[in-house]
């Protein structure tokens, strides 16, 4: 190969240059623009470009820059999806409509494909030759404006083995005005590639393209609606357009308008079209038709021509029925309509956030949320009521869109149900008990560990992996976030929580904004526990109308608030929705908790077909040994392990209790736990 190249160079024969169209270099003389560019003005004249709504100020600025004598190259800078390329397409439409200055009336806007320009350039000099030929054709035509999408790719393109890249080759033509170019790139890429090269930057005039507002997005959606209605063969209601703009702005935080709203409309249209594409009868006819065609081909191969002829007649008959069915459907059926519910379903599938309207079953669940939570949480009326009200406000849509659904701090002694209420809330409202992001603040006691929440800074181990809090919320934006034992965290943690509680957002180490507006923030703390433990010691003159419990709770709440003020800064406490104080468990409440824990033990024994029953004497012993006002319900769990589970384990191993029987737990005269067997006829007969 090297010898052939040397001979070709010696005799002066021109090297073949493969291109994207599998042509030689000699095959596209004078036609490089057709090979590597797309004529946007031609597409606009044919009506193949979506109409551009708004952006008149940006288009006027582009026209002004193009009218300059030199350095007349605008570059559109904006976030992904805000409509940079659409502005260039809008310019092409204005040229076709003769809505531009006289200087631009005969101009053509061509989109240059950098990928095709580089593809196939195997030898040094191939890329440079193509680029020179394009520049020569542009100079010869004299009426061409280039659109280079992702213009930062010019930097370094084609530059290998000491060769010049595309940016350096185009600099002279760009500066003299021989080559007019409209570039489009993002803010980050412009800063990273274009601004670094000052000589290249001065040849471009930046035009900032900001994200449109929700109202502007609605107008844009109305402009492109007809294209999507024609593509999906349906209708899109005005309410659906408004919902797409508003819901995408509220629930899809990591993308930009109008792109995310247009994608919502597109996917909702696809969903509705597929749902109404075929009736059940049409599907059955098509399945039967496919089977007959298959059998006919098999009969022909087996030379069973009589059977093949019969199948051919059946095929024609089914085709006629299917055609009549389609004609009748086209004549009678109206096109389906994309509604607000369709948009909300797409939002829910994207984000996991239920944005759709509340159904009757969900409405009943929300109205009875306190009862549902009390199935697992005994007592603590104030805490349960506050949480339930916050969830109802958010689900109906009355809560603030700029803050989390709710933010609480649960204060109380250990074992009174602070963490259990969080789990019950996740299970009943968010669908599963594991729909919870739990962060134990004892792991964030050191200053350097605070960075784990949002990710390590550049230069440190773990940079690029994301934060434990921010990444978890990005994956599950509709969830409960639990900061367990918040008082153990380093003080720097509270600096991060300030903007989270106030604005519902947090920026991770990568610069990405994480949305917390669909989360419930719950913090637990043991601060003020001593005040709660002493709530029953003094009566004094706090009795109001004989309501001793209310007076004690009010006094205790004030003492807990004073303890919190001495431990946390005012700007942190001021951002919380509510401070909820859990009172100590009473003996009657512990007895109800014992019933719940015994039900858990019974569920574990169902697999072995064993039931358990307990006597009142045994339950009283359980409460006596498991009740400690200072430690809450956790001693009760240990008492059940010792008195119930250990006793049942010994009885099972000794053979005293077998499958299909009922174990009765009782206490004898000496106070010892006994396990007696009672035949369960229901299990045997079942």
CATH number for 587-677: choose from 2.30.30.790, 1.10.8.60, 3.30.420.40, 3.40.50.720. Answer: 1.10.8.60
pLDDT of 279: 58
pLDDT of 264: 92
Quick check: 666 and 619 in contact, CB under 8 A?
A: no
> Other C-beta atoms within 10 Å of 403: how many?
19
What topology does CATH give the domain 215-340? Helicase, Ruva Protein; domain 3 (1.10.8)
pLDDT of 549: 62
Order of all β-strands in the sheet with 578-581: 436-440, 479-484, 519-525, 406-411, 578-581
DSSP 194: I
DSSP 212: P
Q: Give the residue ranges of the chain where pLDDT is below 50.
A: 1-2, 5, 7-8, 11-30, 358, 536-546, 680-686
> Other C-beta atoms within 10 Å of 262: how many?
22
Q: What does the pLDDT look like over 309-363, one tens digit per residue?
A: 888 888 888 888 878 877 776 665 567 888 888 888 888 888 777 766 545 566 7
**How far, in Å, are 207, 492, 503 from residue 249 at the CA level?**
24, 31, 15
pLDDT of 375: 82
What's the CA gap between 274 and 569, in Å, rounded?
A: 56
Q: What does the pLDDT look like over 258-282, one tens digit per residue?
A: 899 999 999 999 998 888 765 556 6
327 burial via Cβ count (<10 Å: 0-12, 13-18, 19+): exposed
- The CATH class given to the 360-537+546-581 domain equals alpha beta
**How far, in Å, are 283, 544, 555 from residue 549 at the CA level?**
69, 10, 10
Q: Where in the chain is the domain with CATH 1.10.8.60?
A: 215-340, 587-677
pLDDT of 265: 93
Q: Where in the chain is the domain with CATH 3.40.50.300?
A: 31-210, 360-537+546-581
pLDDT of 519: 85
Quick check: 551 and 436 in contact, CB under 8 A?
A: no
pLDDT of 268: 92
* The pTM of the whole model exceeds 0.85: no
pLDDT of 504: 85
CATH number for 31-210: choose from 3.40.50.300, 3.30.70.20, 3.40.50.1110, 3.90.190.20. Answer: 3.40.50.300
């Amino acid at each position: 190969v090297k010898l052939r190249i040397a001979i070709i160079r010696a005799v002066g024969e021109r090297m073949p240059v493969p291109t994207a169209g599998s042509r030689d270099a000699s095959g596209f003389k004078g036609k490089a623009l057709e090979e590597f560019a797309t004529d946007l003005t031609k597409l606009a004249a044919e009506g193949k470009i979506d109409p551009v709504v708004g952006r008149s100020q940006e288009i006027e600025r582009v026209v002004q820059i193009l009218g300059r004598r030199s350095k007349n190259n605008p570059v559109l800078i904006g976030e992904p999806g805000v409509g940079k390329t659409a502005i260039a397409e809008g310019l092409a439409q204005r040229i076709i409509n003769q809505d531009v200055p006289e200087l631009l009336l005969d101009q053509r806007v061509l989109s240059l494909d950098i990928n095709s320009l580089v593809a196939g350039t195997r030898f040094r000099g191939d890329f440079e030759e193509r680029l020179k030929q394009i520049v020569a054709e542009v100079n010869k035509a004299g009426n061409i404006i280039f659109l280079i999408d992702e213009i930062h790719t010019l930097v370094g393109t084609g530059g290998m083995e000491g060769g010049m890249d595309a940016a350096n080759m185009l600099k002279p033509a760009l500066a003299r005005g021989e080559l007019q170019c409209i570039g489009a790139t993002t803010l980050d890429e412009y800063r990273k590639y274009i601004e670094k090269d000052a000589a290249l930057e001065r040849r471009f005039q930046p035009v900032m393209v900001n994200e449109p507002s929700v109202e502007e997005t609605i107008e844009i959606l109305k402009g492109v609606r007809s294209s999507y209605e024609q593509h999906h063969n349906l209708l899109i209601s005005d309410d659906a357009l408004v919902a797409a703009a508003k819901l995408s702005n509220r629930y899809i935080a990591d993308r930009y308008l109008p792109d995310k709203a247009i994608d919502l409309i597109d996917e909702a249209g696809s969903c509705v079209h597929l749902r109404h594409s075929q009736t059940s009868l049409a599907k059955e006819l098509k399945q039967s038709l496919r089977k007959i065609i298959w059998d006919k081909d098999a009969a022909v191969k087996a030379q069973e021509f009589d059977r093949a002829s019969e199948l051919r007649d059946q095929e024609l008959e089914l085709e006629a029925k299917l055609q009549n069915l389609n004609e009748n459907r086209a004549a009678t059926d109206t096109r389906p309509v994309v509604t607000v519910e369709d948009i909300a379903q797409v939002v829910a599938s994207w984000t996991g956030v239920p944005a759709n309207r509340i159904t009757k079953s969900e409405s009943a669940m929300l109205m009875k949320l306190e009862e549902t939570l009390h199935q697992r949480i005994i007592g603590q009326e104030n805490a349960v009521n506050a949480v339930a009200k916050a969830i109802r406000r958010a689900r109906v849509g009355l809560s603030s869109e700029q803050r989390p659904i709710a933010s609480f701090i649960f204060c109380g002694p250990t074992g009174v149900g602070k963490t259990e209420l969080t789990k019950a809330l996740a299970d009943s409202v968010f669908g599963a008990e594991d729909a919870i992001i739990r962060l134990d603040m004892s792991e964030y006691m050191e200053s350097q560990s605070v960075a784990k929440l949002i990710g390590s800074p550049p230069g440190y181990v773990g940079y690029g992996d994301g934060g434990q809090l921010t990444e978890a919320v990005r994956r599950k934006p509709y969830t409960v976030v639990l900061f367990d034992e918040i008082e153990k965290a380093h003080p720097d943690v509270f600096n991060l929580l300030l903007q989270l509680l106030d604005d519902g957002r947090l920026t991770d180490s990568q610069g990405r904004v994480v949305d917390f507006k669909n989360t419930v923030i719950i913090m637990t703390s043991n601060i003020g526990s001593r005040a709660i433990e002493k709530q029953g010691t003094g009566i004094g003159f706090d009795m109001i109308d004989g309501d001793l419990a209310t007076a004690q709770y009010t006094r205790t709440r004030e003492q807990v608030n004073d303890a919190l003020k001495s431990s946390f800064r005012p700007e942190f406490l001021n951002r919380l929705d509510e401070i909820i104080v859990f009172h100590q468990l009473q003996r009657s409440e512990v007895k109800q908790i014992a019933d719940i824990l015994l039900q858990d033990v019974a569920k574990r024994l169902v697999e072995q077909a064993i039931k358990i029953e307990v006597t009142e004497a045994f339950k009283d012993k359980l409460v006596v040994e498991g009740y400690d006002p200072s430690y809450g319900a956790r001693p009760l769990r240990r008492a059940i392990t010792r008195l119930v589970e250990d006793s049942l384990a010994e009885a099972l191993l000794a053979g005293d209790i077998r499958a299909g029987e009922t174990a009765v737990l009782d206490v004898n005269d000496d106070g010892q736990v006994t396990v007696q067997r009672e035949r369960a006829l229901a299990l045997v007969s079942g």
